[in-house]
């Protein structure tokens, strides 16, 4: 059997939660279009951030890919 990545579940989860919160905010402020747009944008960014965090945790390093401190590389 093939392993499925659980990190992929964070993006639709984030968009769904953002959509729900954005629609509630849009109805409360009587500007549904703006609320939905902000909800989807913030939810997607939250989902991507959670995916990156989970990937970093799974790899067990700082997440920059080279094992360094993230600073500039000379020579």
The Cα 60–Cα 3 span in angstroms is: 19
**Which pLDDT tens digit goes with each residue over 51-72?**
888 888 877 755 555 555 666 6
37's tokens: 């747009």
**Which pLDDT tens digit goes with each residue over 3-16?**
666 667 888 999 99
**Which pLDDT tens digit goes with each residue over 14-42?**
999 999 999 999 999 999 999 999 999 99
- The residues, ordered by sequence, that sit 6+ positions from 59 with a Cβ below 8 Å of its Cβ are none
Cα angle 65-15-54, degrees, rounded to a multiple of 5? 30
Cα angle 30-39-47, degrees, rounded to a multiple of 5? 170
């Amino acid at each position: 059997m093939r392993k499925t990545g659980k990190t992929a579940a964070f993006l639709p989860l984030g968009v769904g939660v953002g959509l729900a919160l954005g629609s509630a905010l849009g109805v409360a402020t009587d500007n549904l279009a703006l609320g939905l747009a902000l909800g989807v944008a913030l939810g997607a960014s939250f989902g991507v951030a959670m995916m990156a965090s989970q990937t970093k945790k799974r790899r067990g390093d700082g997440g920059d890919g080279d094992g360094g401190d993230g600073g500039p590389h000379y020579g």
